[in-house]
Amino acid sequence: MLSRRFLLGGLLSLLPARLLAQAASRSQPLPIVTEGAARAVVVVGRDPGPWEKAAADDLVKYVKLMSGATLTVAEAAPRGAAAIVLGTAALAMDPAIGRRLAAVAKPNPLVQADAILVLRRGANLFVAGTNDESHYFAVSWLLQHWGCRWYLPTEFGEVVPERRSLTVDTLDHVHAPPFEIRHYWLAWNADSTGADLFRHRNFMSAATMVGAAQTLANYTSDIAPAGGDHFNVPFTDRPTAEHVAAKIEADYAAGKDVSLAISDGVYESPADRGLITRYDRYMLKPSVTDAMLVFYNAVADILRRKYPSSKAKIGGLAYANVTLPPDRVKRLAPNLVMWIAPIDIDPNHALDDPRSPPKREFGAMVDAWSRLAPGRLALYDYDQGMLVWRDVPNPSHHVFARDVKMYRRLGLVGFGTESRGAAATTFLNLFFRGQLMWNPDADVDALLRDFYPAFFGPAAERMARYWNRIFAAWAETKVTEHEHMALPAIYTPALVEALRGELAAAEAIPVTGRFAERLAFVRTGFDILANIVAMNSKAARDLDYAGAAAAGEAAMAARKAMRAMNPTFTLDPADSLEQGSAWLSGEIVQMKALQARAAGEKGRMLAPLPLTWSFRIEQPLAADWRYQGPLGAEAGKSFGGGEGVWREVRTDLYLQAQDILAADGQAALGRYRYRAEVDLAESAGAHLLFPGLFNEAWLFVNGALAGHRPYNEPWWRGDYGFEWDVDVAAYLRPGRNVIELVGFNPHHFAGMFRRPFLYRPS
């Protein structure tokens, strides 16, 4: 009986030498670099596209940074040499690669079907994709497989491990992302240095879909009704659709996509009222989605019938008071695609988070829109999600990691994210977005574990504790609002002191080079944060406006220092977009003006009002209530006593941040009342100043109506100063006084967020 060893040897002797060599090579690592010496050639086709060429450049660049070896780029590898075969060269060498890519890529894509393959076969390592950008993604995946990372734009954010030798064992990776659009753009005059390479290195592409550009007004302003503007054009009138169709007809006939995205604002026309069945509680206006879709469908149908061979798409935008899904319209023309943009929906919680009824409601909206436009719906979202903010961290990865799985299930085409790219605020957000849009099952915790030692070196443990405290504060917050007034509810003085200790411990560890630069980035960011929190506390709690202004100026100095380190870290503080009371520079001016009234040339403080007041909700909103504008001064004369239960609240934090919510968990509180007592030795000429107050309000002093503050909601229609100054001299008396503030909150922020005081104007 022949032995197995003898039989195997006989069979092997029958194989051609070439196959034997291939079999042997499969069982041995394929050398790319050995002890700093190049062992492989990069093969690129004769006419590579721009991203395929960039892929070859990156491969050579980062292999050299890792190992010191310079790989040669050629159109073909020398006989017997190891080869990394890229893009079109790989597809040409082995047609089976194209078939494998086609098998995993999204069939019949609306925009672009990306897929990559990284395959070691014998002495060849094939690295290719379904298109020019995908060839680049394939190389980026390989470099990440070898340990490279791009956490932030520019060299500051890249991590390149030292590896004197590089080999490839068995490797067969094929992947197609579920989303065709994976993109962010830079708004607010943000610095774009390194952004495009950063995007592509994290699997984000330039592919997009028509409908995000807000151009509808270009086609309707000339038919605005007398006394109105393009927001008042009747969308249910057939002539409106015919007018717009005629204006975009030439482009549509030529196969060019056309955006009919609505503008920032509220759409209202008496002619459309017949199709209004829903009220948008976030915009505080009737939803005109049905009317808008009648218009969209009419334009699309006119052009589709006239030019049936055109492949053009018409893009629409679900936004403002066209965000709610339609009630009566049940179809979307096949040549229409839609974006949905949650401009005023909680950005701090996931779609399935029980702590956020607004976000859960938005999840239902997306679900309904995805059924109306299957495979034709994309999300226009925001990161940073805290829109008018300060340059302090606003992490979002814990939310997006949950949401992206639902968006995959709903079949969204993808994402077009509006960002400012300011690393002091977004930090790792855009890195995680890229990784999760590419693979919604990416392990965020594992990526973070890799991040700390790679980015901070010896200071990794302390930096992990520092950043994990910040991440935990955001993961645990109940805040559903999205402006800087919510900052004190997340960044408390206690959190700042804990961060101060972690940072000091990290700075005690010797680090050099890039690690030292990154610690300096964290230190400067902390200086911004600590001073912003100090400014808020001194103004809102302590009535120390001089101290608040000084802290604000220290924060601004730190912000300028951050900008000088790298222009991608913050926006330019001197930019014209950041002037006014909404921004840090304007808030500093406001603190100085408050100091002038409290202890300066414009007045003298008579008495601080208590930090803690009694509070109750007196009249919640009825289920069918609709906002019709301010209730008016006269309404205050008819308020009854109310029936709510009294509790204590603080005046340095808005109400929802203190768990004051409606019965359904939403922010809309209806009518509420604060009550406090103050003993006065003098009251002549007294004014009561509310330095930070939301909503329409009525002030009662010793039972008498002393003032009414009109306010048009939503809250962002105000001046962002949020002050109310009331002459109360005629209502006060020496000794004990009862102060009552009645407010009306239809939604969003409510109540006081800076402690009030009595003063006498000069």
| 495/373 Cα distance (integer angstroms) | 44
Mean pLDDT of 46-57: 98
Q: Give the pLDDT confidence score for residue 173 in this predicted structure.
A: 99
Per-residue pLDDT for 2 more than 90?
Answer: no
pLDDT tens digits for 284-301? Answer: 999 999 999 999 999 999
| 505/383 Cα distance (integer angstroms) | 30
User: Among 452, 449, 447, 450, which residue's Cα sits nearest to residue 433?
Assistant: 447
Q: Give the pLDDT confidence score for residue 558 in this predicted structure.
A: 98
Please say whether the structural domain 603-761 has been given the CATH code 2.60.120.260: yes
- Running DSSP on this structure, what letter comes out for residue 609? P
Mean pLDDT value across the chain: 95
Q: Give the pLDDT confidence score for residue 577 in this predicted structure.
A: 85
Residue 643 banded pLDDT, cuts 50, 70, 90? confident
Per-residue pLDDT for 313 more than 60?
Answer: yes
CB 563 within 8 Å of CB 570: yes
pLDDT tens digits for 542-556? Answer: 999 999 999 999 999
Per-residue pLDDT for 21 more than 50?
Answer: no
Neighbours of 308 (CB within 10 A): 8
Architecture of domain 20-176: 2-Layer Sandwich (3.30)
pLDDT tens digits for 182-232? Answer: 999 999 999 999 999 999 999 999 999 999 999 999 999 999 999 999 999
Q: How many CA atoms lie within 13 A of 726 on its CB side?
A: 25
DSSP track, 216-240: THHHHGGGPPTT--GGG--TTSHHH
pLDDT tens digits for 385-403? Answer: 999 999 999 999 999 999 9
Q: Give the pLDDT confidence score for residue 80 in this predicted structure.
A: 84
Proportion of the chain above pLDDT 70, given as a percent: 96
409, two tokens: 């299930």
Neighbours of 601 (CB within 10 A): 8
Domain boundaries, the chain: 20-176, 209-337, 603-761
CB 555 within 8 Å of CB 532: yes
Q: Give the pLDDT confidence score for residue 27 in this predicted structure.
A: 63
Q: Is 286 helix (H, G, I), strand (E, B) or coil?
A: strand
Tell whether omega for the bond before 714 is within 30 degrees of 0, i.e. cis.
Answer: yes
Residue 576 banded pLDDT, cuts 50, 70, 90? confident
CB 235 within 8 Å of CB 272: yes
CB 480 within 8 Å of CB 359: yes
pLDDT tens digits for 687-737? Answer: 999 999 999 999 999 999 999 999 999 999 999 999 999 999 999 999 999
Between residues 16 and 92, the one the model is more confident about: 92
Least confident of 1-5, 506-510, 540-544: 1-5
